[in-house]
Structure 1
Amino acid sequence: MQRRIQIALVALGVIVTLIGAVIIAGAYRNDSKINANKATAVADVISADRLHAAVNFVTPDGVLRNPKLGLLYPTNLSTGQRILVDYDASDPDNLARPVGRNARLSIVPALSVIAAGWAAVILVLVVVAESGRRSRRSAA
């Protein structure tokens, strides 16, 4: 039983690692899509918090855009700011980021997720191993 629990915990650690890798890969994919059809506009930040920023900007065709999921890399923005955004000209309603920010900003948070996940897995592995050792000692 202990062995199955340990295998499941290691599998959980691998899954957490894969999640972190997908976070980084997704950020680089989004950046490459923006860079392939990059356009720049002045945007108004209409709402912002630590993890999300909603903006409005006007594209050259005169259409007011508001990316559905907000900006990529939204940290340190505040409501009411006017900023420059790079966006995917072929998909301005989905992909936009503040000028000067890129996928490298996703590396530290993704590595933090991986590190925290493995720290929790290792802690539980030690607890399971210790409880198994104690139960074997008491049975002997």
Structure 2
Amino acid sequence: MLIVGSLLTVMGLSIIGACFINDRTIVESRGQAVAEVVDTSLTRTVVRFNTEDGRVYIPPNGVLYPTDLQVGQTVRVEYDSRNPDLVRVAGRNAVISLLPVSSSLAVVWAVTLPAYWLLRRSGKD
């Protein structure tokens, strides 16, 4: 039980770390644009925008931090000009990932620790 809880914790912390790395990468070579939300689903939100060199771009993995976006909406985005696949909603950053990940980890440990305690206790009888 503790190994599973620890693995889930490492995964959650890795997600947060990846968000901060993505943000740093965007800041290092930032391009800005106005994007149209093309599609939203449970797993990703797709946007379409023009890069600074005039190309129309649709990142295949969607946009980072897409909370509350609706199809047809226009939104300002920031992207890595070296790799336009990496795009986020302007004004949003990795701090947004802290609440959902920490909440998930709290639930993981709220279930894991009592389960571990119960298993240890039943094993002593």
TM-score range (shorter-chain normalised) is over 0.9
Choose which of 50, 55, 75 in structure 2 pairs with 1:63.
55
Deviation string 1:37-90 (CA, Å, 9 cap, x unpaired) is 001001010012455210000112221101111000011000000111000000
Q: Mark the structure with the bigger radius of gyration.
A: 1
Q: Distance in 1 between matches of 2:111 and 2:35?
A: 41
User: Aligned residue for 1:121?
Assistant: 112
Cross-structure match for 1:3: none
Secondary structure at the aligned position of 2:71 is classed as coil
Q: Identify which of 74, 85, 101 aligns with 1:82.
A: 74
Paired AA for residue 72 in structure 2: G
State the match for 1:131 in structure 2: 122
Structure 1 spans left out of the alignment, 5+ residues: 1-8
Count of residue correspondences:
125
Is this contact kept in 2: 1:73–1:101, CA < 8 A?
Answer: yes
Aligned pairs (5 A) from 1:21-36? 21-36=13-28
Q: Out of 108, 120, 123, which is 2:99 matched to?
A: 108
1:78-136 CA deviation, whole Å, 9 max, x = no partner? 000011100000000x2101110000001111112211211221131132133224xx2
TM-score of the two chains, using structure 1 as the length reference: 0.83
CA distance in 2, matches of 1:50, 1:12: 25
Which ranges in structure 2 are unaligned for 5 or more consecutive residues?
Answer: none
| Cα RMSD after superposing both structures | 1.3
Tell me the residue number matched to 2:64.
72
Q: How far did 1:17 drift?
A: 1.3
- Which residue does the alignment assign to 1:47? 39
**What fraction of aligned residue pairs are identical, expressed as a percent?**
35
TM-score using structure 2 length: 0.93
Q: Residues of 2 paired with 1:126 and 1:120: CA distance?
A: 10
Letter of the structure 2 residue corresponding to residue 40 of structure 1: Q
Runs of 4+ with deviation above 6 angstroms: none
- Whose strand proportion is higher, 1 or 2? 2
Bigger mean CA offset, 30-39 vs 59-68:
59-68
